[in-house]
Each structure stands twice: as structure tokens, then as C-alpha cells.
Amino acid sequence: MNISFPHLLGWIGTVSYLVAYLLLSMGRLRADKKLYHLLNILGAIGLTYNAIALKDFPNVVVNIAWAAIALWAVWLILRRQS
């Protein structure tokens, strides 16, 4: 099986988003925890890279926005902890 680097990152991003949502839905993870948002950042990075490679610009925009929201949430969490 020959998978390209952009496709590999796309799949890693997909799995990361799904794991974050699954753990949140199961009550194993909360939205006020860094791990939830770090999984979303990882997902956004993987899917953004894949979308750029495919020239799928609406997907690029939504995943950059998703990452920005997650980064902002991590910043708020860290700020509350200080």
C-alpha cells in the first residue's frame, strides 16, 4: 500500500478529530481540558495540510479556523491555571 504524506496527515487529522469527539461524548474528556483542544489542533493541522495538497480551499479555511479556536481555548485554559 502506497499512501502519500498529505493523505497520511489527513487520516491522522481525521482520527484525531474523531477521538476527541468520541471521548467528549463519552464523558471521558471535557471541553475545558487541554487534551481535547490539542487533539483538535492536531486534527486541524493534518486536515489543513491534506486540503492544501488537494487544493480544497473551503476545507483549508474551516480547519484553520478550527485550529485558531482550539489554540485560543488552550490559551484561556493556561491563563486560568496561572
Give me the pLDDT at residue 82, please: 87
Q: What is the pLDDT of residues 19-55, one digit of tens each?
A: 999 999 999 999 999 999 999 999 999 999 999 999 9
Distances (CA, A) of 13 to 37, 42, 53: 13, 6, 14
What's the CA gap between 29 and 21, in Å, rounded?
A: 9
Above pLDDT 90, what percent of the chain?
Answer: 96
Distances (CA, A) of 9 to 2, 33, 45, 61: 14, 24, 8, 17
Flag whether pLDDT at 1 surpasses 80: no
What's the CA gap between 4 and 39, in Å, rounded?
A: 22
Above pLDDT 70, what percent of the chain?
Answer: 100
Confidence of residue 14 (pLDDT cuts 50, 70, 90): very high
